[in-house]
Structure 1
Amino acid sequence: MSTDNVGCLYIVPTPIGNLADITERAITVLRSCDAIAAEDTRHSGQLMQHLGIRATLFALHEHNERQRAEQVIERLQRGESIALISDAGTPLISDPGYVLVQQCRQAGIKVIALPGACAFVTALSGAGLPTDRFSFEGFLPAKPQQRRKRLEQLVSDTRTLVFYESPHRITDTLADLMTTVGSERPLVLARELTKQFETYLTGTVAEVQQQVLSDSNQQRGEMVLILGGAPEVEHDDVNPAALRTLNLLRNELPLKKAAALAAEIHGARKNTLYQLALEQDNQ
């Protein structure tokens, strides 16, 4: 496909569910490339068969990317053009490919990224939460202690937060959200996007948790969680004495308990003191 001596690496999004969502440009590139690097060749082979594409597929995934990248670059330097795809959606978004793209850039090989399907962008655009500022956090840690620690680090973030989550962890993650950010933060669970059973569950953290726990069908499929950002804290409204008390109590008590006691002593809002303390920690 390339007319130069050096080939080109194409980053090609594939459908996240509905096969009709693949673009004409993506199909043209996949048909024209010398080979396709796929996360799972068996899975992607079914899509290629559906599209009538007979290009050679080879595996490039998180376990072999560093070793395979060198071979891919050698092929590109010989003038071949190669497409990189993931199992679904846009490559590199919580999927392999970063190492290969970085090494191609360093080697002076042309990289062309095509626009296309992406689960978190689709979910965010349909969630009804603020989109002017957001942070995509990918998958939370699988281990409970690490997951809660990560959520605690994000508690004071005022941006909309977007996560991917797996069905077998969704109830645990919702429980951890209740513990860390509380029950009243706005939350949307987007499930099975573009597929037959596409669903958006909306409400507070507590309300979404209840919907998921009361219906096992809501615990299935590919999931995106969109969490409303923390409320902006007005520093001028905080009693300086309450903040001093909080900082003293923190020397002996966990932050949540210290915030609750300082709020009770000074008649302040517990959540406001808690958010301020987190902001201090992040400075």
Structure 2
Amino acid sequence: MTVNLKFENKQIKKGLYIIPTPIGNLGDITYRAIEILKKSDFILCEDTRISRKLMERFGVKSKLLPNHKFNEKKNLPQIINHLRNDKIVSLISDAGTPGISDPGAILVRQCVKERIDIYPLPGPSAVSTAISISGFSEKYFFYGFFPSKLKEIKNDLKSLSQLDTSIVFFISSRKINKAIPFIKASFSERDILICREMTKFYEEYLRYKVDDLKTFDEDLKGELTIVISERKKVKKDSLLLSESDKNNIKGMINKLSIKEIVNVISQNSNVPKKKIYNFCLKIKNEV
């Protein structure tokens, strides 16, 4: 079924338009996006077969040009030439916002370099959609797709685990089981949200404690958006001295002052200094 929308016959500025497309439900596209797509001289897309379904749904007849990660560098001179000749060019991806883990960044950088006007449209994004329902910190770091090599996954996740924000990843469902052991090793005591088929009929949102996360027996299908929560805040008052710290204090009690012992122990412990001090006093009185 083709959806016909009527728009005012107003001028659209010449330049490059970055147009988000639905991440699943075609009804999520904006009126303005359809208007600009209809008035574009060219629409750059990843897969013409996927994009043609969207265009046919909304009666868009502009010329589609394939522009994906394998040919976007080769296409660059031709596209820039179109833009220099005052053509209206729209850039879309198969789903979501172009340039965010999708082709587009190379073209945008060249347009910036050549002072060609670029106009972004707001719209669908798997990142913001997942964050909005996570219940985690609104401050987040977007990583993009997991690396393909296990060593890179291990190193990157270890580094990212130091961030005290929500962290968003994209990953193929075929690779999720390989990544789970590294997620558990790096993000213990955090929460995780796994989003699949977002905005589609079979959409599903899986919530776990990272420590309880297990590999999946079933094929989840498609690309997954993963959100890991910020670090859990632990009240210092609830922290206790470890047996190792207690033994170290007992070994130092007749060699150092209590103040010196407190400084030594607090360097490698989150326990409040007052608790360390009180324990030192208790041991001192027992000696």
TM-score for the superposition, normalised by structure 2: 0.76
Residue 174 of structure 2 aligns to a residue whose secondary structure is: helix
Matched, 1:198 2:200: no
Q: Does structure 2 retain, via aligned residues, the 8 Å contact 1:2–1:80?
A: no
Residue 263 of structure 1 is matched in structure 2 by: none
Residue 86 of structure 1 is matched in structure 2 by: 93
Matched, 1:71 2:78: yes
Residue 227 of structure 2 aligns to a residue whose secondary structure is: strand
* Aligned mates of 1:225, 1:107 — CA distance in 2: 36
Q: 1:79-158 alignment to 2 at 5 Å?
A: 79-131=86-138, 133-158=139-164
Residue 221 of structure 1 is matched in structure 2 by: 222
* Aligned mates of 1:46, 1:25 — CA distance in 2: 18
Q: State the Cα deviation string for residues 81-139 of structure 1 (Å, max 9, x = none).
A: 100000101111101111101111221211100000001110110111111x1101101
Higher alpha-carbon deviation: 52-61 or 198-207: 198-207
> In 2 relative to 1, CA 77–108 (structure 1 residues): closer, same or farther, beyond 3 Å?
same
* Aligned mates of 2:147, 2:15 — CA distance in 1: 35
Matched, 1:45 2:68: no
What are structure 2's unaligned runs of at least 5 residues?
1-9, 249-264, 272-287
* Aligned mates of 2:173, 2:267 — CA distance in 1: 39
* Aligned mates of 1:75, 1:93 — CA distance in 2: 24
Q: 2:19 aligns with which of 3, 12, 16?
A: 12
* Aligned mates of 1:232, 1:95 — CA distance in 2: 35
Question: 1:169 Cα deviation (Å)?
Answer: 0.7
* Aligned mates of 2:185, 2:267 — CA distance in 1: 21
Question: Which letter maps to 1:172?
Answer: K
Q: 1:170 aligns with which of 152, 173, 176?
A: 176
Q: Does structure 2 retain, via aligned residues, the 8 Å contact 1:127–1:190?
A: no
Which of the pair has more CA radius of gyration? Answer: 2
* Aligned mates of 1:47, 1:137 — CA distance in 2: 28
Q: Does structure 2 retain, via aligned residues, the 8 Å contact 1:174–1:205?
A: no
Structure whose residues are more often helix by fraction: 1
**C-alpha RMSD of matched pairs (Å):** 2.9
> In 2 relative to 1, CA 206–111 (structure 1 residues): closer, same or farther, beyond 3 Å?
same
Residue 195 of structure 1 aligns to a residue whose secondary structure is: coil
Q: 1:60 aligns with which of 64, 67, 72?
A: 67
Q: Does structure 2 retain, via aligned residues, the 8 Å contact 1:160–1:227?
A: yes
Question: Which letter maps to 1:146?
Answer: E
Question: Which letter maps to 2:218?
Answer: S
Question: Which letter maps to 2:202?
Answer: F
Q: State the Cα deviation string for residues 204-223 of structure 1 (Å, max 9, x = none).
A: 1133x23x62x515x22321
Question: 1:181 Cα deviation (Å)?
Answer: 2.3
TM-score for the superposition, normalised by structure 1: 0.77
* Aligned mates of 1:40, 1:80 — CA distance in 2: 22
Residue 222 of structure 2 aligns to a residue whose secondary structure is: coil
> In 2 relative to 1, CA 85–204 (structure 1 residues): closer, same or farther, beyond 3 Å?
same
